[in-house]
Amino acid sequence: MKTVNILDVEIHNLSAQELLNSLSRKGGIVVTPNVDHLMKLRKDPELQEVYGQSDYRVCDSKIIQFASRFLGTPIRHKISGSDLFPAFYEYNKHKKNIKIFLLGAKEGVAKIAQEKINQKVGRNIVVDCYSPAFGFENDKEQCQRIIEKIKASGATVVAVGLGAPKQEKWIHRYRQELPEVKIFLAIGATIDFEAGYKSRSPKWMSEVGLEWLYRLLSEPKRLWKRYLIESMPFFALIFRQKMTRMVFGQSSLLWESLKGVKHKLSLSTKE
């Protein structure tokens, strides 16, 4: 699979259909990097390891897609977790071996999402769910109970909506204990969207790269720091990456030109 380098993260340059086809054949772990994830990755070695061992890293941000075009290596499609997940269960609606477990959201919300998804699909594609308490990831006993619950459900897919980097790290730590699970999806707030507990931004805002603004206005107390402080260095870093490429690209062209001149001089001397 072709990748595009954005701030030292290799993002797979796939369409949603290509991703769904590949998941159907091979399974794997899907993470969906956005600007917040890329900034966290610069300071979090464990998250770097998680990303390095993931099978699919797909662009979850119009801003990243715009940045890739600025860098001259365009990412073809934005595939957010909230778009991927409904596409995934629709794609697999008739495949009886696809059984989904939802992990995340507030108590009761995941259950509502389960019921709504199953009603849409026309079968019990979501076989069970669990909404963990805050800080559960630090409680090994509770995590072990979740593992047993997933095993008992017969799930072959686990969709984790805990927010980054918690969801990615949880998948990384416990995937080996779930050998029957072939697909892991890190899907952020998607369970809330599926339940109708939170609303997504209008499509036009998403298309022009303003989904972050909609989310900020919806949850200003929780998200102001993420969007207005922690994510701001992204733009300077992208500009630096662009300048670095230009400088090294020009240096490479100069070196190739010098090698060409040297080769011609060598041929002239031999004659």
List alpha helices for the chain, DSSP H.
Answer: 16-26, 35-41, 45-53, 62-70, 81-91, 109-121, 140-153, 166-174, 190-195, 203-207, 211-218, 220-225, 233-270
Q: Looking at per-residue confidence, does 249 or 53 come out higher?
A: 53
Q: Looking at per-residue confidence, does 251 or 11 come out higher?
A: 11
Contacts of 49 (CB under 8 A, 6+ apart): 172
Give domain 3-200's CATH architecture.
3-Layer(aba) Sandwich (3.40)
Checking if the pLDDT of 159 tops 70, the result is yes
pTM for this entry: 0.88
Which residues are registered as beta bridge partners of 10?
5
pLDDT digits (tens, 9 = 90+) for 113-146: 999 999 999 999 999 999 999 899 999 999 999 9
Domain ranges of the chain: 3-200, 234-271
The pLDDT confidence band at residue 248, using thresholds 50, 70 and 90, is: confident
pLDDT digits (tens, 9 = 90+) for 30-84: 999 999 999 999 999 999 999 999 999 999 999 999 999 999 999 999 999 999 9
Q: Exposed, middle or buried, 30 (CB in 10 Å: 0-12/13-18/19+)? A: buried
